[in-house]
Amino acid sequence: MKTFCGYFNRGTCGSCELISTEYGRQLELKESELRGALAPLAVPPLLPTVRSRTNTFRNKAKLVVTGTVAAPVLGLWGEGDLDAGRELLDCPLHFPEMNSLLHSLKAFVTEAKLEPYRIATRTGELKGLIVFYSEGSSELYLRFVLRSKEALDRIRKHAPTLSRKHPGLKCVSANIQPVPHAILEGEEEIILSAQETIEHRIGDVSFTLGPRGFVQTNQAVALELYRTAASWVRELGKLKFAELFCGQGAFSFFAAPSIEEGLGIEINADAVFKATQTAEKLGHTHLEFKCADAKDVGTELRTFAPEVVLVNPPRKGLGASAQLILDQLPGHVIYSSC
């Protein structure tokens, strides 16, 4: 079946496994699977499913860079030969502003003489590119994933050219990833632009977002997710609210008008710093964010004694944090499943 994606039709990219299935049918299949998973429990009927646009909704792109300085390839690893890439500059899921920047980056790699990394020989500098676009603010950030710091001066020198062509590009950084394995990001992030963050607006909430911050990739659906959770919190009255695995605190900020006091727990120190900045900017003095592993905050939860706990764990689930909730036994638990 031909789809709206030429890359899928040509076999270049198979990431969207269900793309050849009509979107309404996709939702039916997923709803059926969810009902099956919940069958042993006494749960009420599902609320109506929030539908997404089928294209131009994804706000983040992570692409590897292969090829040569003169002819770089931005996209996916090739089949068989890991150094042979598959170009992916016009993914229909991406916002057009992202794809426009990717086209400019292809020329930028050549201009700045950024040698693509080669797995076979462990040579070269540029491993990947990460682009993020905020629909609410029309701002972008760009991250170069590099093997070392060798190319930093060349990127700084040529970056103004990108900014002039793409006025929405506000933050540029380099992520240093020296490990010769299939790990896209390293621990060290070096800001190369005057601006260290971008503004990321979701609904009525404006976040301070840094290059390492995590946000949902489908902003329209994320907005409904946060609004739905906030509406449930509002129904409960002014209670103490804790958010585990809070990231930059999206659920906390949407629930903020309806709670007495809020505590966010997140292991990523940069995300906690940005969440604290956002709270200060919005005047939410009743929100506090702490950097800690969610499984190790038993003392904090007992002291804070939340009546509502919202959890937003990664794909692996709650893990040891489940015991904390069982020990605390709050009156209400809201689970946002990855």
Q: Active-site residue numbers?
A: 338
From CA 86, how far away is CA 13, in angstroms rounded? 8
* Helix, strand, or coil (residue 53): coil
Query: Residue 91 has which token pair?
Result: 């993914």
Dist CA 192 CA 106 (whole Å) = 19
Please say whether the dihedral angle defined by the alpha carbons of residues 272, 195, 75 and 23, taken in this order, is positive or negative.
positive
d(CA 42, CA 311): 21
CA 2 to chain centre: 29
Nearest to 124 by CA among 145, 95, 153, 101: 145
Report the 10 Å Cβ neighbour count for 207.
27
CA distance readout (Å), 326 to 40, 124, 309? 20, 50, 11
Q: How many CB atoms lie within 10 A of CB 301?
A: 20
- Return the axis-axis angle of helices 152-165 and 96-111, rounded to nearest 10°: 140
